[in-house]
Chains A and B, each alone.
Chain A
Amino acid sequence: MGLQLTSDDQVLALAPDSSAASAGKKLAQTKHWKSMGQSTEALWGECQGSGKDPYQVRVDLANLAITCSCPSRKLPCKHALGLLLITVDTPKVVPTKEPPEWVTSWLAKRAAVSKRKETKETPKAPGTPPTAAQIKNAEKRVTQMTKGLDQLDLWLHDLIRNGLASVESQPHTFWESQKAKMVDAQMPGIGNRVLRLAEIPHASSNWPEKLLSELGKLALLTHSFRQIQRLEPALQLDVRQLVGEPIKQEEVSTLGQIITDDWLILGQRVSTEDKLRRQATWMLGTQTGQEALVLQFAFGMSPFTEVFPLGVRQCADLTFWPGASLQRARVEARRGEIVPLREPLPGAETIEDFFKRVAKNLARQPWQERFLCTLRNVTPVCHNKGSRWSIRDTTGAVLPLAQSEEQYWRLLALAGGHPVDFAAEWDGETLLPLGMLVDNTYYLL
């Protein structure tokens, strides 16, 4: 297989920030490296740092998994970036040879872990009857959930009977305790929806409308769940996941659809909640036009397991979570070379077209909240000295950008009031920019 990266730009697109990128460039000189080597499966090198022992960098070429023995929490760290840059620039100085023990043992460990995962995921042979304990557990679960749903309906009805004006005086525990009840009833998905309601009152001038919309959708969800058999099979899977019934990896493998395409990896957003970091990577299939959301989770400062180069195109197999509207996916196999984005983005020509696509997705799965938005020929516009921002399509329609601490001056500097191709996450109200293509260069935002 060998290294699939072929240019500096691609390597630098992997850098977690610009300081890591520039430090990596400095280490891209052979004099810093005690040893280097590559094989069909791996790339490795030993970089002499300030300490006694050199730092050991290992790259699994099958999926670009990278590890380094240095204490840096950045992934990839400057050592890994330096090694990748040398390999891309001057492949000859990195000899092809048998990997040393510290590389082979690491590869073996990785292989063992993924095998263990696979065995775990292997669906049980059909026809194996569930054990008595399993049946009992499932029954217990159904009882708990039904009780939970009854309780939730009571709570919802109380709210509406007394009027939404009453929530103004409710403390945060009002929402929290209701969430806890839902988690106890094995419905964490519902619980999270309840907790998110707490943020709505007073956050905007039209909060009663927003709150009622969310309460209404929540009621629709529980109503659907109570009569789940009446729904189409695909939507049944969505509703189960939304309520919080975990979909097992094996179900994703057996029920999920695999789509092979040339995927544009358009951008990434990382959010943190209770020390759990959630990384959302947005991809778009060039042939199918399918959007894909790849999620990774990591605790505290530990790095995410997989590294996605951004602003690039790569052929890959993606497995989509089963459901009526495909969105969440995982990368099954990467197949081709990683190529920086240079061509116009496939996307909607107008905001109206984009809204039509959103409507279609909502018709398939009404609880979907986030959508990938790629728009052609839109102009970033700065309002009122940078206090508000929007993008405008060629028909004059505008969509607002999310309020952000760091403003969008970079958008304005790069686009200069001219139309550009633009990628963002749409949350139903505002756009969270991911990247844009200007003069054949894709800039991450």
Chain B
Amino acid sequence: MDAFVIAALVGTAQQPNLEITTGTGIDSLTTQLAVTEPEHKLLLSAGAWALYRQAGKVSETLSTIPEPARSESQAACTQRITTLLESMFQGEHDNLLPEALERIKQAGLRLPHELLIPALNIQDKELRSAIFPVLGERGRWLSQFNPSWSWVGHYLPGAEEAQLAEAESIWQEGTQGQRQSILRLLRASDPTKARERLAAAWKQEKADARTELLNTFTVGLSAADEEFLEKALDDRAAGVRAAAASLLAHLTNSAFAARMQKRADAMLTYEAKKLIVTVPTTLEKDWLRDGIVAKPTAYGVGQHTWWLTQVLSLVPPAHWVEHFGISADKLIGATRANADWRDTLVSCWASAASLHRDERWSMALWDWASNPSTKKKDAAVWNEQTSLLECISQHEAEQRILSLFSNPKHPGNEDWEDALAVLRKPWSKEFGDSYLQELHSHLSKLEFKKNNSPYNDSWYQSIDTAKIALHPASFAGALKDWELSEKSSDTSPSSWQKTYWIEELKKFTEAIRIRQRFIEEIVL
């Protein structure tokens, strides 16, 4: 420590006659001072000394700094697009981000540097997958400095061919996320090689890693994987066992599938146009090995229902048509006579139809439930309506939603906006046009009564989906002026319901206009 500081800390009362010299020009100034008190002298010389050092300040040096970012190989998107994206990152119309980012990627463009921070701060996993390809060199470079941006490291940079060429080193040295990505890519191009790679490393992997890596087998799954999966059923980690069981369930000709079918056949019989359910009283050990869980994990579900549900949900529904020799429609209809098991059977078939992506059964279940003679309380299938819809081809699925529009008393009509949300995007032009037409006619009939909340109105709720799903060919129809019914405006011009509707419609046209701008600005 500096002699002046020591003297000042101790106090001149202790050392009144202290002479401090610095060996600089300050000393001669100090001697010229015409002051007598030692305190005053110390203060003035310390002040001069401080200034002397301030004026002679030398900065520290840093010999190395991180490699700078490589120069960009892609062009940034335009200023207009940047402005639009900026407000999306701030939360305005952020549901348009996936489409916007995808278009930027397809055009071979990247985000401008000023948008990298909001982009890297995105928490949503799906959005991150859309952001990664448009980060550019700068974004990937930047992510190394901030721990909360480490997610970038889980993605593989470059084109797929280039990644595959690097497969060996990524598999050996990459992050867990990168290793999953490369294994998934390998599964797509050469499933056998991918399986052998995993098999070779299997014993050294931790339980979580084994589960996650095994899950990549959903890509390119075939009978060739059966042997490996069958072995995994005996894995010491529960997660791996469950993953293996759910993969085996997809292999309809596997020994696993045959065991499940045998169990199912013993539980479900069809006699005299009736479905009869017989559930075993005890659970065999081999059931447990195949991933059947003994204790119900869902609240309020009985043990027998639980066992039945687990087995039946895995068996391809087409099996029953063959096994009992009757059509899907008849089988579904036969559940009506079995009040105890009706709901369970229908929802098991619905899950199974969705698991095996059986479009025929999915449509049969949907149509049965939509039949006016089916009472709503009978139609447990509506709990599964979104997963059924995902198995139905776009055209057929859109037709089914259209019939909901025209039939307001339809049992599935309640919350149809949820079903709408799973339709493939973008909608067909025909469907989009019909939707807009129906929305118009709904608005013309709208009454803003006291207990009429927009939040209970499926049409109001559906607009959020329409914003992102409408086909560009339908945009013109969405951009005309939306008018609310005249009679309502006369009665209560300032009702909050009306304000909500006006706001939502304004946002709707705004969103469509933004999508239009993206199409115009980024030409593919």
**Which residues on A are within 8 Å of B, measured CB to CB?**
18, 22, 25, 153, 156-157, 160-166, 208-209, 212-220, 223, 351-352, 355, 358-359, 362-363, 366, 379, 381-382, 385-386, 390, 392, 395-399, 409-410, 412-414, 416-418, 428, 438, 443
User: What residues of chain A lie closer than 8 Å to B2, measured between beta carbons?
Assistant: 209
Asked whether B44 is an interface residue with its Cβ less than 8 Å from the other chain, the reply is yes
* Chain B 38-73 per-residue mask, 1 if CB under 8 angstroms from chain A, else 0: 011011111111110011111111110111110000
A-B contact pairs, 17 of them (CB 8 A): A160-B42, A161-B13, A165-B10, A166-B11, A220-B44, A220-B47, A355-B57, A366-B51, A379-B65, A381-B65, A412-B145, A413-B116, A414-B114, A416-B68, A417-B68, A417-B69, A418-B69
**Which residues on B are within 8 Å of A, measured CB to CB?**
1-2, 4-5, 8-14, 37, 39-40, 42-51, 54-63, 65-69, 83, 86-87, 113-114, 116-117, 138, 141-142, 145-147
* Residue among B9, B61, B83 making CB contact with A397, cutoff 8 Å: B61
**Do A216 and B54 touch across chains, with their CB atoms under 8 A apart?**
no
Q: How far is the CA of A95 from the CA of B272 in the complex (A)?
A: 90
A153 nearest CB neighbor, chain B only: B40
User: What residues of chain A lie closer than 8 Å to B61, measured between beta carbons?
Assistant: 395-398
User: What residues of chain B lie closer than 8 Å to A160, measured between beta carbons?
Assistant: 8, 11-12, 39, 42-43
**Do B39 and A156 touch across chains, with their CB atoms under 8 A apart?**
yes
User: What residues of chain A lie closer than 8 Å to B59, measured between beta carbons?
Assistant: 351-352, 355, 397-399
**Do A163 and B141 touch across chains, with their CB atoms under 8 A apart?**
no
With most chain B CB atoms within 10 A of its CB, the pick from A208, A417, A438 is A417
User: What residues of chain B lie closer than 8 Å to A381, measured between beta carbons?
Assistant: 62, 65-66
**Do B62 and A413 touch across chains, with their CB atoms under 8 A apart?**
no
* Residue among B4, B40, B83 making CB contact with A157, cutoff 8 Å: B40
Instruction: Tell me the dominant secondary structure on chain A's binding face.
Output: helix
User: What residues of chain A lie closer than 8 Å to B51, measured between beta carbons?
Assistant: 217, 220, 362, 366
**Do B57 and A164 touch across chains, with their CB atoms under 8 A apart?**
no
* Residue among A161, A355, A362, A418 making CB contact with B11, cutoff 8 Å: A161
User: What residues of chain A lie closer than 8 Å to B58, measured between beta carbons?
Assistant: 352, 355
User: What residues of chain B lie closer than 8 Å to A166, measured between beta carbons?
Assistant: 11
B121 nearest CB neighbor, chain A only: A409
Q: How far is the CA of A162 from the CA of B47 in the complex (A)?
A: 18
**Do B46 and A413 touch across chains, with their CB atoms under 8 A apart?**
no
**Closest chain A CB from B115 CB (angstroms):** 9
**Do B9 and A208 touch across chains, with their CB atoms under 8 A apart?**
yes
* Residue among B12, B40, B56, B66 making CB contact with A219, cutoff 8 Å: B40
**Do A413 and B8 touch across chains, with their CB atoms under 8 A apart?**
no
**Do B50 and A217 touch across chains, with their CB atoms under 8 A apart?**
yes
Q: How far is the CA of A68 from the CA of B146 in the complex (A)?
A: 43
Q: How far is the CA of A432 from the CA of B97 in the complex (A)?
A: 35
B2 nearest CB neighbor, chain A only: A209
Q: How far is the CA of A389 from the CA of B39 in the complex (A)?
A: 40
**Do A212 and B50 touch across chains, with their CB atoms under 8 A apart?**
yes
* Residue among B37, B87, B141 making CB contact with A416, cutoff 8 Å: B141
**Do A161 and B12 touch across chains, with their CB atoms under 8 A apart?**
yes
**Closest chain B CB from A227 CB (angstroms):** 10
Q: How far is the CA of A412 from the CA of B138 in the complex (A)?
A: 10
**Closest chain B CB from A445 CB (angstroms):** 12
User: What residues of chain A lie closer than 8 Å to B46, measured between beta carbons?
Assistant: 212-213, 215-216
User: What residues of chain A lie closer than 8 Å to B55, measured between beta carbons?
Assistant: 358-359, 362-363
**Do A216 and B49 touch across chains, with their CB atoms under 8 A apart?**
yes
